[in-house]
Structure 1
Amino acid sequence: MESNQGASASDQKQDIKASEEVPTKEHLEDLRGKDKAAELLQNANQTVLVSPEDNARILRKIDLTILPIMLAVYFLQQLDKSTLSYASVFGLVDDAHLGGQDYSWLGSIVYVAQLVMQPIVAYFLVKLPTGRFAAVMVLCWGIVLSCMAVAKDFKGLLATRFFLGCFEASVAPTFIAITQMWWRRSEQTNRNAAWLAVSSRGVVGHIHSSVLHSYQIIFLACGLLTVLFSAVVFLFMPDSPVDAKFLNDQDKLLAVERLRDNQMGVVSTEWKWEHVTESLLDLKTWFWFSLIFSISIPSGGITTFGPLIVNSFGFDSFKTILLNIPFGAVQIIATMGGAALATYFKRKGPVLVLLCIPPIVGSVILLCIPHEQTHRGPLLVGYYLISVYPGISPLIYSWSSQNTAGETKKKTTTAVLFIGQSAGNVRLLPFDSLILFIVLAVLIALTTLHLMILNKKHASRRVAVGKSAVVIDRSMMNVQERTANDEDADGSDGLPSKAFDDETDLKNEDFIFVY
C-alpha cells in the first residue's frame, strides 16, 4: 500500500510500517558499498508503507514461489546422499571391489569436499546472482551423480563422490542466504526448519536390466532427475527481491520495505575484506562453530549406528527397520516443533536447551540399562528420546543467520558454521554423545549471555549518539504485534539509518541481537 507524505496519521496507523518515511536522497546519495535495496528505494522516490493486507499478500507470494523450490532441492540432496546406501545393497560393493575402509571413505569424502568448498561458496554467494548460482550447482551435482554410474572402482567412485560434495556444499549456505533476503527475522526460523525437515526416507525398488546394474540405474535416475530440476531452479528462483520477476515494481518495493527492521540488508555484490576480518574476530562466529560442531559429532554417529543400536536390543532385521520409522517421525516433530516454540517465545537459547534434555536422558538410558530383550521397552524409549536432536541444527542455523548483518560477513559466518558441521560429521559412541549434548547446553548458555551483553553495548552506543537506549525489535513481531505497536507508537522515532547500508551487526548500533 502506498502513501505520500501528506497521508493522515489515522491512515498511517492502519499500516504495518517498516518506517515513517524512506531514506532521504542526501542519505543515499553515495550508493557505493551499500545494499541494492537502498538504490531501489531511492529510485522509487516515494514513501512505502506495508499494510497488513499487503504484507500477507507478499508473504504468500514468496512462500508459494521460493519455498517449494527450496523444499524440492533439499529433498533431491537427501535422496542423492542416500544413493550410496541403496547402491551398496544392490551390488556396488562387490562390483567395485570395495574392501577395508573403502566404503567408509566414500561416505566421508563428501564432508571433506564440503569443508574445503565453504570459503569458495561464500565468495560466490556475494559476487554471483544467487538464483543462477543455485541452478548451476544443482545442475553440476546432478551431472556428477549420473557419472557415478560409469565409475568402475574405488578411485572412480571416490573422485565422483568428492565432486558431488563440492557442488552439494552450496545447498544449505545458499538456502540460508535466500532465507535472509526474503523473510523477516520472525519468519525465518520456521522457513529454515521447513526445508531442513525434508528427508527422503523412501524405498528404491530392484530394477532389472540386461545392460545396467541396479545401482547404476539408481545413480542415473537420481542424477538425471536432479539435472532436470535444475532448469526449474534456473527459471523460477529469482536472485533477490530487487529483481524478482514474479513481483511487479510496487510489490518489489513492499518486499524490500518489509525487511527494513531486520537491519540486515537484502543483497550486495561487493566483497568486503573488512567484513571477513570482523567475522573471524567476532566471538559469536566461534560460538556458532562450536555449537554446530558439538551437535554434528553425535548426530553423525547416531545416524550411522541407529539401526545397529536397535538391533542390539534383540530385534531381528525386519523389526529393526520398522522400529526406526518412529525415529524419523520424532525428528520431524522436533524440528518443526522447536522452530514453532522459538518463534512463539522469540528466544532461541532456552528452546535449544530444552531440545538438549531428551537426548541427554536418552543417552543415559542407553548407557545404564543392559541391552537385553527383557529391557526392550525402556531402551526404545531412550533411543526415541535421542531422536529429538535433529531439531537442534535448524535453530543453530537460524540463530547464527539472524544475528549477523553485512553481506560479506553473513556469507563468511555461514561458511565458518558449515566448516564446523562438516568437521563434526564423524562417528562416536553413545558415551561421547552424552558428553557433547551436555557441552552443547553449556555453550548455548554462554552464547545467550554473550548476545545479551552485545545488546547492552549497543544500547550504550545509541545513547551516546542521541538515540533511545530502548529499541523495540519489530523484526521479531508477528502481524498482530506489529499492528498494536504501530497504534501505540508516537511516531517520533526516525528511520533506522543503516538498515540498507551493508553495515555489520557490530558496527550498526540499531541492530538488535536475538537470544
Structure 2
Amino acid sequence: MESDAKKFPMTSNAEEKDFQVGTITDLDEGEVFLHEHGFTHEAVQALLDDVPRNKALVRKVDLVLLPLLAGTYMLQYIDKSALAYSAVFDLLTSTHMSSNEYSWLASIFYFAYLVAEYPWNMLAQKTRLATVVSGNVIAWGSMLMITAACHSFTGIAICRFLLGIFEAPITPCFMMIVTMWYTRDQQPFRAGVFYSCNGLGAMVGGILTYGIGQIETIAVWRAIFLILGGITVAWGAVMFLFLPNDIISAKRFSLEEKALLIGRSRLGRTGVMNHQIKWYQVREALVDPQVWILFFFTLFNETINGGIANFSKLIIKGLTHDALTTVALGIPQGAFQIFWILSGTFLASRVRNFRTIVMVMYLVPTIIGVCLLWKLPHETHKVGVLFGYYLSGAYVCSLVLALQMPATNLGGYTKRSTGVALVFFAYCAGNVIGPHAFLSKEAPIYETGCKVMLSCAAAQVALAICLRVLLTRRNKQSDAAAASNQAVADMSEYDELADLTDFENPNFRYVL
C-alpha cells in the first residue's frame, strides 16, 4: 500500500509537521478530508477534468440546496413583510399605534439583527451551520405566531426584536453555503436564485394576505401573523431534516462526489470550512479597504430598502385608499424583483469580471423610479407613479452582488466570515436608518425619503467604481509579482492546503 506521503504530496515542512503530530486545525477541513481518504492531487484533478461528472454533480447540488434556500428566503421575506401587510389592515388602530411608533418597529427588527448576526456567524462556524439555520427558522416562526397575541406597541416591539434575533443568521449563512458548494463563476446566479425569492415572496405574500383579508372571525392582522408563523415553523422542520451542514458531513453525496466538490472549491482558493477562529484574520478583514467599500455600498443600498420595504404599501394606499387593492397592486413588484435579480446575476455569472458593472447598471432604474415617485403628481398620474414604484426595486440586484462579494473575494474562512458579518452589519444599519427618512407629514409622496434614496443610489455608483479600480490594481500587482518571482508559482499546492487569506496567498485573484 502507498504511503501517505505518496498519496498526498506535501510542499511545506510546517504542513508535514501538522499531519505528523495531528495538529490539523490550521488546514482547511476539505483538504484534511482528501488526505484522510487517500485522494491525491492527481485523482482530484482527474475528477475536475470529467466534464459530464461535474455537470451532473452541479445539478445534484442544485436539487439538494436551492429548493431549501429558496423556500426559506421566500418565507423570510413574507414574514418580515407581515408587519407592512398588517399596517394596511387594522394593526395601527387595534394597537393604538402612531406612525412614528410604526417606523420604530421596522428599526427595532434590524437593531436586533445587528446585535445577533456576528455571534450567530461565529456559532455557525464553530458548530453545525445547517442546524443553526433550521433552529432559527423554527424560532422565528414561533415568534411570529406569538405576535398575534399582542395588544400594544410594547408587546409587538419585543416580538419584533426577538424576530430580528432569530432571522439574523439566515442570509450570511446562505452566502457562506453558496461559497462552499459552488465555484466562483456559479455563485452569483445561485445567490440570485434564492435572493430573487424575495420577489416570489412579495407575490405569494400578497396573494396570501389578500385571501386572509377576507377573514371576518378574527382581526385580519392577527390572522396574518398566526398563519404565516405556522407555515414557517413547519418549514423549519423540513430544513432541519434535509439541509446538509457542510460538504464533508453531507449524507446524500458519495466520497468521490465530496472530493470533487472540495476540488472545485480549490479553484477559487477560498477553502471549504475551518472551525478554528483565527483572530489575525479578523484583524485583516478590519483593515481591508475592499471590506469597507462593500460596507458603505450595502449601508446606502439598505437605507433605500428600509424606506421602500416599510412605506411602499402606504405609498400605494395613497393612490387607492383601499386595503385589498393596495395588496393586489403590490404583487407585480415581486415579479419585477425576480426579473431584476435573475437577469443581473445571470449576467454577472456569464460575463467574466462584470459584477461591479452590473452593480452600477442596476442602480439606474432605481434612480429613474424614485424620480417618478417624487416628481409625478400622485392624483393625476397614478399609473406613472405605480410604474416608478416597480422600477425602483432594481437596486436589489446590486445588493445581491455586494452581499456575495465578501464570500467570493476574501480568502481564509475566518476573514471571509468576518467580512460577511461586517457587510451584514451595514445591511442592518441601513434598514434601521431608512424608515426614518419617510416623514409622516409628507405622505404619500415622502419628498425627504426620495431625496435620501437618490443620494444613496448616487453614492453606490461611486463606490462600485472605486471597488473595481481597487480590485483591478490588486490583480495587476499579483500578476506582476508572479511573473518575477518563481516562489509564488511554487506556492500553488500549499495555498490549497492551508487556510490562507487573500493577502497571504500570492496566487489569489479577485473577481470584479
Give the shorter-chain TM-score range.
Answer: 0.7 to 0.9
Quick one: structure 1 residues 147 and 334, their matched pair in 2 at CA, closer, same or farther if it must change by over 3 Å? Answer: same
1:431 aligns with 2:451: yes
> Could you tell me which amino acid in structure 1 is paired with residue 430 of structure 2?
G
Quick one: structure 1 residues 378 and 110, their matched pair in 2 at CA, closer, same or farther if it must change by over 3 Å? Answer: closer
**Conservation of the 8 A alpha-carbon contact between 2:491 and 2:507:** no
Alignment deviations for residues 236-261 of structure 1 (CA, whole Å, 9 cap, x no partner): 11111111100011211112112211
Taking the aligned partners of 1:34 and 1:506, their CA distance within structure 2 comes to: 17
Which residue of structure 1 lines up, in the alignment, with residue 281 of structure 2? 275
**Conservation of the 8 A alpha-carbon contact between 1:262 and 1:499:** no
Which residue of structure 1 lines up, in the alignment, with residue 9 of structure 2? 24
> Could you tell me which amino acid in structure 2 is paired with residue 40 of structure 1?
F
Which residue of structure 2 lines up, in the alignment, with residue 306 of structure 1? 312
Q: State which of 252, 256, 271 in structure 1 corresponds to 2:258.
A: 252
Alignment deviations for residues 129-173 of structure 1 (CA, whole Å, 9 cap, x no partner): 111111211122122222223333322221121111001011100
Taking the aligned partners of 1:379 and 1:208, their CA distance within structure 2 comes to: 31
Alignment of 1:128-207 (within 5 A): 128-199=127-198, 200-201=201-202, 202=205, 203-204=208-209, 205-206=212-213
Taking the aligned partners of 1:408 and 1:468, their CA distance within structure 2 comes to: 23
Quick one: structure 1 residues 455 and 386, their matched pair in 2 at CA, closer, same or farther if it must change by over 3 Å? Answer: same
Deviation at 1:84, TM superposition (A): 2.2
Deviation at 1:331, TM superposition (A): 1.6
* Structure 2 unaligned spans of 5+: 19-23, 438-448
**Conservation of the 8 A alpha-carbon contact between 2:368 and 2:388:** yes
Deviation at 1:269, TM superposition (A): 0.3
Alignment deviations for residues 175-216 of structure 1 (CA, whole Å, 9 cap, x no partner): 011111111111110111111111323333147587x65443
Alignment of 1:30-45 (within 5 A): 30=18, 31-45=24-38
Which residue of structure 2 lines up, in the alignment, with residue 78 of structure 1? 77
Q: Secondary structure at the match of 2:495?
A: coil
More helix by share: 2
Alignment of 1:415-426 (within 5 A): 415-425=421-431, 426=434
Quick one: structure 1 residues 291 and 250, their matched pair in 2 at CA, closer, same or farther if it must change by over 3 Å? Answer: same
Give TM-score, length-normalised by structure 2: 0.85
Give TM-score, length-normalised by structure 1: 0.84
Deviation at 1:86, TM superposition (A): 3.6
Say what the alpha-carbon RMSD is for the aligned residues: 2.6
Taking the aligned partners of 1:366 and 1:84, their CA distance within structure 2 comes to: 23
> Could you tell me which amino acid in structure 2 is paired with residue 247 of structure 1?
F
Quick one: structure 1 residues 134 and 37, their matched pair in 2 at CA, closer, same or farther if it must change by over 3 Å? Answer: same
Quick one: structure 1 residues 504 and 382, their matched pair in 2 at CA, closer, same or farther if it must change by over 3 Å? Answer: same
Deviation at 1:306, TM superposition (A): 3.0
Alignment of 1:425-504 (within 5 A): 425=431, 426-427=434-435, 428=437, 429-463=449-483, 465-466=485-486, 495-504=492-501
1:389 aligns with 2:395: yes
- Comparing 357-366 with 235-244, greater Cα deviation is found at 357-366
Taking the aligned partners of 1:380 and 1:209, their CA distance within structure 2 comes to: 30
> Could you tell me which amino acid in structure 2 is paired with residue 196 of structure 1?
Y
Alignment of 1:347-362 (within 5 A): 347-362=354-369
Taking the aligned partners of 1:215 and 1:316, their CA distance within structure 2 comes to: 18
* Structure 1 unaligned spans of 5+: 5-20, 470-492
Q: Secondary structure at the match of 1:69?
A: helix
Taking the aligned partners of 1:434 and 1:209, their CA distance within structure 2 comes to: 42
Taking the aligned partners of 2:97 and 2:287, their CA distance within structure 1 comes to: 44
Alignment of 1:338-353 (within 5 A): 338-346=344-352, 347-353=354-360
Quick one: structure 1 residues 25 and 231, their matched pair in 2 at CA, closer, same or farther if it must change by over 3 Å? Answer: farther
> Could you tell me which amino acid in structure 2 is paired with residue 497 of structure 1?
Y
Alignment of 1:256-335 (within 5 A): 256-310=262-316, 317=322, 323-335=329-341
Taking the aligned partners of 1:90 and 1:377, their CA distance within structure 2 comes to: 23
Alignment deviations for residues 273-303 of structure 1 (CA, whole Å, 9 cap, x no partner): 0011000111111011011111111222233
Alignment of 1:44-123 (within 5 A): 44-46=37-39, 47-48=43-44, 49-50=46-47, 51-89=50-88, 91-99=90-98, 101-123=100-122
- Comparing 110-119 with 83-92, greater Cα deviation is found at 83-92
Q: Secondary structure at the match of 1:350?
A: helix
> Could you tell me which amino acid in structure 1 is paired with residue 80 of structure 2?
K
Q: State which of 396, 399, 404 in structure 1 corresponds to 2:405.
A: 399
> Could you tell me which amino acid in structure 2 is paired with residue 439 of structure 1?
A
Which residue of structure 1 lines up, in the alignment, with residue 446 of structure 2? none
Deviation at 1:383, TM superposition (A): 3.8
Alignment deviations for residues 405-437 of structure 1 (CA, whole Å, 9 cap, x no partner): 211111111111011111111133212222221
Taking the aligned partners of 1:430 and 1:87, their CA distance within structure 2 comes to: 24
Taking the aligned partners of 1:420 and 1:439, their CA distance within structure 2 comes to: 15
Quick one: structure 1 residues 372 and 343, their matched pair in 2 at CA, closer, same or farther if it must change by over 3 Å? Answer: same
Taking the aligned partners of 1:406 and 1:99, their CA distance within structure 2 comes to: 47
Deviation at 1:128, TM superposition (A): 1.4
Aligned residues: 470
**Conservation of the 8 A alpha-carbon contact between 2:356 and 2:465:** yes
Alignment deviations for residues 357-403 of structure 1 (CA, whole Å, 9 cap, x no partner): 22223334444554451x45654554443232222111112223211
1:506 aligns with 2:495: no
Percentage identity across paired residues of the two chains: 30
Deviation at 1:467, TM superposition (A): 5.7
Taking the aligned partners of 1:399 and 1:389, their CA distance within structure 2 comes to: 16
Taking the aligned partners of 1:125 and 1:282, their CA distance within structure 2 comes to: 23
**Conservation of the 8 A alpha-carbon contact between 1:263 and 1:511:** yes
> Could you tell me which amino acid in structure 1 is paired with residue 29 of structure 2?
K
- Comparing 114-123 with 273-282, greater Cα deviation is found at 114-123
Taking the aligned partners of 2:220 and 2:369, their CA distance within structure 1 comes to: 38
Quick one: structure 1 residues 89 and 304, their matched pair in 2 at CA, closer, same or farther if it must change by over 3 Å? Answer: closer
Taking the aligned partners of 1:413 and 1:231, their CA distance within structure 2 comes to: 30
Taking the aligned partners of 1:72 and 1:366, their CA distance within structure 2 comes to: 32
Q: Secondary structure at the match of 2:502?
A: coil
**Conservation of the 8 A alpha-carbon contact between 1:55 and 1:258:** no
Alignment deviations for residues 66-88 of structure 1 (CA, whole Å, 9 cap, x no partner): 11111111112112112223444
